[in-house]
């Protein structure tokens, strides 16, 4: 028998009370504790345990216990594994089940006389097993079984609800972690376009804190300095949501423009809006993904300027070469040898300029594609390489170019063609940005570990806030001198890439109005 209450009414009241207490809980640990406690009390048992089925391997594991210590759990799990291994398509045979329950009782205490096992089943899905062990034998009547089955059914409902709540809570935490750790900003709006939630990336991007933004209307936070397309409000008025006749259809809205932050800074962002609909098609909320496209826009602008510059840079030497060649090939004029020689020198210089430009473009393209500069190593004399560059370029300039290398400057291992590119680019830069008649020095120094080559000019210098950017691809300082000077913004980018490939370092020292000095250092070994 179960408990011996004064009447069946008391028994039903007790059962109703404990089932209400169990089903009111959504925490699985608390549900299992109450189920176990109620089971042991109802059956006047000494030991109780609840085993739940694991979704991954379909085996039963002890998840709650009463009257034993944790030392018993591994052995009881082994018996549960054996019990599940012996299960047939029709379930357990009574004889096999009783045998395994007896072995489990003996594992705990040989003085345990009787065991009662109640399956926890919800919607024909086995959730687990509730087992109570008693120190004495007694008869369990049909009414007792009905009561126990009713309790087990209620317990199964409570366990199922708690498990579902646990899964939902885990999924909520997982989505919250994804939201908070996303690199893109995310915010969620109510149907009336007030802020429900934002993530940390949104805070960093826009300067708005979560506690300040929640509950504010969208137009108080998303303030456009410049808008490239219609915003969310306009899209809603134009019937954007009328496209959502079917909940499974997703048609996002993309908005791009310059956003004003609370601190006065303006950033370029792109926002992708997507509505979240209820089952009956009503708008529940709007989820927005925000991406900072400031650097992307700058890169696009730089690329446009670069393409325009390259177009000009390529056309100029080609036009000069064509013009002088056409002039020399005229049949109606007899040119003396000096004119021909002068014109051929100009053609050769422009061809060299064109060759350098094409080399820079090809090198930049290979770096972009291969993410590295491949080197053909050989022994290189940097002072001779510098002398050849000076000899090649000094005839094209009106500067005083001098060499300053110490005696016995060491030979290094490197890629001669690439290092010639480095010296040519640094020297060409110095010529471009130095007024005519000024001195340009190409020199070097060395120690036991490294060699250093420098190119010093007496030009206008580089502002301190621009020095870190001069080695960026396509970057050109926006000042009076650079506007007068041709260039692609690739020269110093290539110089740094080549020196990096040699495991070297490049740096620049500059003072506005007093010129600049570029240094590159390469290991001797």
Please write the tens of the pLDDT for every residue from 33-61.
888 888 888 888 999 999 999 888 888 99
Summarize the confidence of residues 97-106 as an average pLDDT.
Answer: 90
Q: Is the pLDDT of residue 445 over 70?
A: yes
What pLDDT does residue 286 have? Answer: 92
> For residues 398 and 436, is the Cβ–Cβ distance under 8 A?
yes
Alpha-carbon distances, residue 79 vs 59, 75, 104 (angstroms)? 11, 7, 6
Alpha carbons 104 and 76: distance in angstroms, whole number: 6
Alpha carbons 179 and 275: distance in angstroms, whole number: 17
Per DSSP, the three-state class of 204 is helix
As beta bridge partners, residue 510 has 516
Backbone φ, ψ for residue 40 (5° rounding): -65, -40
The backbone region for 22, taken as left when phi is positive above 0, alpha when psi lies in -120 to 50, beta otherwise, is alpha
Place of tokens 């030979």: 411
Alpha carbons 260 and 266: distance in angstroms, whole number: 5
Got the DSSP string for 388-399? HHHHHHGGG--S
Q: Which CATH number fits domain 371-523: 3.40.50.620, 3.30.565.10, 1.10.260.40, 3.40.50.2000?
A: 3.30.565.10
What pLDDT does residue 306 have? Answer: 63
Question: Shortest CA distance to 25 belongs to which of 162, 213, 170, 225?
Answer: 162
Alpha-carbon distances, residue 399 vs 221, 342, 357, 390 (angstroms)? 57, 20, 22, 11
Strands (E), 382-498: 400-404, 412-414, 439-446, 450-456
Alpha carbons 58 and 70: distance in angstroms, whole number: 22
pLDDT in tens, 228-249: 888 999 888 888 877 554 545 5
pLDDT in tens, 369-417: 666 777 889 999 999 999 988 887 776 677 888 999 998 999 999 999 8
What pLDDT does residue 1 have? Answer: 46
Q: DSSP secondary-structure letter at 217?
A: B
Q: Which CATH number fits domain 301-369: 3.40.190.10, 1.10.1740.10, 1.10.3450.40, 1.10.287.130?
A: 1.10.287.130
Q: Is the pLDDT of residue 9 over 80?
A: no
Place of tokens 């290092």: 419
**Cβ count within 10 A of residue 150:** 14
What pLDDT does residue 481 have? Answer: 45
Summarize the confidence of residues 282-288 as an average pLDDT.
Answer: 88
Q: Is the pLDDT of residue 522 over 90?
A: yes
Alpha-carbon distances, residue 473 vs 192, 238, 365, 413, 488 (angstroms)? 45, 43, 11, 27, 9
Structure tokens at 107: 């594992």
Integer-rounded Cα radius of gyration of the chain:
41
Please tell me if the domain spanning 8-176 has the same topology as the one spanning 301-369.
Answer: no
The helix-helix angle for 28-43 and 8-23 (nearest 10°) equals: 170
Domain ranges of the chain: 8-176, 184-292, 301-369, 371-523
Alpha-carbon distances, residue 217 vs 200, 212, 276, 415 (angstroms)? 19, 11, 18, 61
Q: Is the pLDDT of residue 368 over 80?
A: no
Question: Shortest CA distance to 137 belongs to which of 6, 44, 39, 51?
Answer: 44
CATH topology of domain 184-292: Beta-Lactamase (3.30.450)
Say which CATH class 8-176 falls into: alpha beta
| Residue scoring higher pLDDT (322 or 11) | 322
Between 72-81, 157-166, 218-227, the lowest mean confidence (pLDDT) is in 157-166
Q: Is the pLDDT of residue 504 over 90?
A: yes
**Cβ count within 10 A of residue 177:** 10
| Number of alpha carbons in the 13 Å side-chain half-sphere of residue 290 | 24
Alpha carbons 422 and 268: distance in angstroms, whole number: 36
């Amino acid at each position: 028998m179960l408990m011996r209450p004064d009447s069946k009414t008391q028994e039903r009241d007790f059962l109703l009370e404990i089932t209400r207490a169990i089903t009111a809980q959504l925490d699985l640990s608390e549900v299992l504790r109450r189920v176990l406690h109620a089971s042991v009390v109802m059956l006047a048992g000494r030991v109780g345990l609840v085993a739940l089925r694991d979704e991954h391997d379909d085996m039963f594991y002890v998840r709650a216990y009463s009257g034993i210590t944790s030392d018993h759990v591994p052995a009881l799990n082994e018996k549960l594994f054996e019990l599940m291994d012996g299960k047939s398509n029709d379930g357990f045979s009574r004889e096999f089940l009783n045998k395994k329950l007896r072995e489990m009782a003996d594992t705990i205490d040989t003085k345990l006389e009787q065991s009662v096992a109640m399956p926890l089943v919800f919607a024909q899905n086995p959730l687990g097993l509730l087992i109570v062990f008693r120190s004495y034998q007694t008869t369990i009547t049909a009414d007792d079984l009905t009561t126990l089955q009713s309790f087990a059914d209620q317990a199964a409902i409570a366990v199922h609800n708690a498990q579902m709540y646990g899964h939902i809570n885990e999924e909520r935490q997982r989505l919250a972690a994804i939201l908070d750790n996303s690199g893109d900003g995310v915010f969620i709006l109510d149907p009336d376009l007030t802020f429900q939630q934002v993530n940390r990336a949104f805070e960093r991007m826009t300067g708005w804190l979560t506690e300040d933004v929640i509950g504010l209307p969208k137009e108080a936070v998303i303030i456009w300095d410049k808008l490239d397309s219609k915003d969310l409000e306009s899209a809603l008025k134009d019937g954007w949501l009328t496209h959502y006749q079917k909940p499974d259809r997703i048609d996002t809205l993309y908005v791009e423009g310059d956003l004003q932050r609370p601190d006065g800074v303006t950033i370029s962002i792109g926002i992708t809006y997507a509505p979240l609909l209820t089952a009956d098609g009503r708008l529940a909320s709007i989820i927005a993904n925000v991406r900072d496209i400031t650097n992307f826009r700058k890169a696009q602008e730089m690329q446009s300027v670069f393409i325009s510059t390259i177009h000009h840079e390529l056309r100029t030497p080609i036009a000069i070469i064509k013009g002088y060649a056409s002039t020399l090939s005229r049949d109606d004029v007899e040119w003396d040898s000096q004119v021909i020689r002068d014109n051929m020198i100009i053609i050769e210089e422009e061809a060299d300029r064109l060759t350098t430009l094409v080399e820079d473009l090809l090198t930049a393209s290979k770096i972009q594609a291969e993410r590295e500069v491949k080197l053909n190593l050989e022994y290189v004399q940097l002072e001779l390489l510098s002398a050849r560059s000076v000899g090649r370029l000094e005839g094209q300039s009106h500067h005083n170019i001098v060499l300053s290398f110490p005696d016995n400057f060491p030979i290094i291992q490197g890629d001669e063609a690439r290092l010639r590119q480095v010296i040519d680019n640094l020297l060409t830069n110095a010529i471009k940005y130095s007024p005519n008649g000024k001195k340009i020095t190409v020199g070097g120094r060395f120690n036991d570990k490294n060699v250093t080559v420098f190119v010093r000019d007496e030009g206008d210098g580089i502002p301190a806030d621009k020095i870190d950017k001069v080695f960026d691809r396509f970057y050109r300082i926006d000042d009076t001198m650079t506007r007068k000077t041709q260039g692609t913004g690739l020269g110093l980018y290539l110089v740094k890439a080549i020196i990096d490939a040699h495991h070297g370092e490049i740096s620049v020292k500059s003072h506005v109005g007093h010129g600049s000095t570029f240094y590159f250092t390469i290991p001797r070994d």
